[in-house]
Amino acid sequence: MTVYADNAATTKLSDNAFNAMEPFLKEIYGNPSSLHTVGQIAKEHLENARETIASSIGANPREIYFTSGGSEADNQAIRTAAYQGARKGKKHIISSKFEHHAVLHTLNALEKEGFTVTLLDVYSNGVVKAQDVENAITEETCLVTIMTANNEIGTIQPIAEIGKICREKGVLFHTDAVQAVGHIPVNVNDMYVDMLSVSAHKFHGPKGIGFLYVKSGIPVKNLIEGGAQERGKRAGTENLPAIAGMAAALKDAVDNLEENAKKVTAMRDRLVEGLKGIERSRINGDMEKHLPGTLNMCFEGIEGESLLLLLDMKGICASSGSACTSGSLDPSHVLLAIGVPVEIAHGSLRLSISEYNTMEEMEHIIKTVPQVVSYLRSISPVWEKITREEK
């Protein structure tokens, strides 16, 4: 049995998304910029997809800019606000300590260009306080960027509250909604956001495609110079197969949102029930304001990497946190941001499930994780020390 429990890293392509893509990989191959019939047919499909996507988040089609994914959308949103601010002498940006690296590393790059960045604390519940955002805003602030839901611990942020504050103060507000769209209700008007990033492969769409929503009236900064695609804001012939796949996947995700959330939450609750009894373990992040499918735990006295390898041998694909941190031995910046001590943060496990998982798979996880944890502890000098100190 292979149990795929790493849906926060990426998801399986749905059959509907695949079927929506296929014609564009074969017969509908036109370039939407071409003036002839073959091109214009492609153009029509492109604009239909844009409409489907826009309506799924309460936006206007003219407010949707296709990108190569969530990372590009984050980069473009942040640079749009930064350069617009800089022209007015406003070079201060507010974000949080537990953002995705696509946000944090863009902010690092802007610091080198002379911007000042305030990274807000995230409390032990994994939630940013809107009041902290308000307190941090100054005359110089040009952008607030706070993610809708965290990719490692699944906590949902008070986006509408933060958005209202930003709008009152005349500060642009961007949210990385990559983990949220298709999983919880997202509406750009209700959330008072100016910009919002989305990626298709987190909701059973294809990889390498996403989009940035930008509220009309905000001049978008283009990162890729060239042709006039995306109204001159993102050059390059449109990836129509991927765009069609994203539209189909997003429509399915939004149409079935409640039903899927119910199913996934029931499985996640079963995991919590079955795993929370493991001694010296903890669940990271508030479980109330939370995505349906993400569960992050720490087990004292072991290394997350060893845990992942042994789970993989037992057919369970999971993660220690973000796909970017796996592969390095630093503990997760997200867990450190919510105050998990370094030595405990090393023993982290993220299980992220989707509607493609089954209860039977949850039972396999519940049976296997405690076995692997206790095996690793039996050979761990750190665990020996912890238990010796206890006596």
Ligand X SMILES: *Cc1c(COP(=O)(O)O)cnc(C)c1O
First to last CA, the chain: 40
Enumerate residues 34-53 that contact ligand X by CB under 6 A.
none
Stretches 11-19, 63-71, 84-92, 285-293: which one binds ligand X (CB under 6 A)?
Answer: 63-71
Which residue, 103, 230, 126, is CA-closest to 174?
103
DSSP per residue, 163-179: HHHHHHHT-EEEEE-TT
Which lies closer to ligand X via its Cβ, residue 141 or residue 151?
151
Instruction: Pick the binder of ligand X from 5, 82, 147, 248 (CB under 6 A).
Output: 147
Instruction: Pick the binder of ligand X from 64, 81, 102, 349 (CB under 6 A).
Output: 102
337: which 2 tokens?
A: 């941001």
Enumerate residues 172-211 that contact ligand X by CB under 6 A.
176, 178-179, 199, 202, 210
317 noted as active-site residue: no
Which lies closer to ligand X via its Cβ, residue 192 or residue 211?
211
Q: How far is CA 314 from CA 268, 332, 367, in A?
A: 20, 24, 11
Which lies closer to ligand X via its Cβ, residue 178 or residue 186?
178
Cα separation, 207 vs 158, whole angstroms = 28
Angle at 174 between CA 170 and CA 177, to 5 degrees: 150
The answer to whether the CB of 173 falls within 8 A of the CB of 192 is yes
Residues near ligand X (CB under 6 A), total: 14
Enumerate residues 68-97 that contact ligand X by CB under 6 A.
69-71, 74
Which lies closer to ligand X via its Cβ, residue 210 or residue 321?
210
Which lies closer to ligand X via its Cβ, residue 32 or residue 69?
69
What SS3 state is found at 299? strand
CB of 68 to ligand X, least distance (A): 7
Which lies closer to ligand X via its Cβ, residue 100 or residue 346?
100
CB of 301 to ligand X, least distance (A): 29
Instruction: Pick the binder of ligand X from 43, 50, 90, 100 (CB under 6 A).
Output: 100
Note whether 243 binds ligand X by CB under 6 A: no
Residue 213: its H or E element = strand 210-214
* DSSP E strand boundaries for 18-160: 64-67, 92-96, 116-120, 141-145
Q: Which residues contact 372 (CB under 8 A, 6 or more apart)?
A: 307, 310, 311, 314
Q: Which residues are catalytic?
A: 324
Interface residue list for ligand X (CB under 6 A): 69-71, 74, 100, 102, 147, 151, 176, 178-179, 199, 202, 210
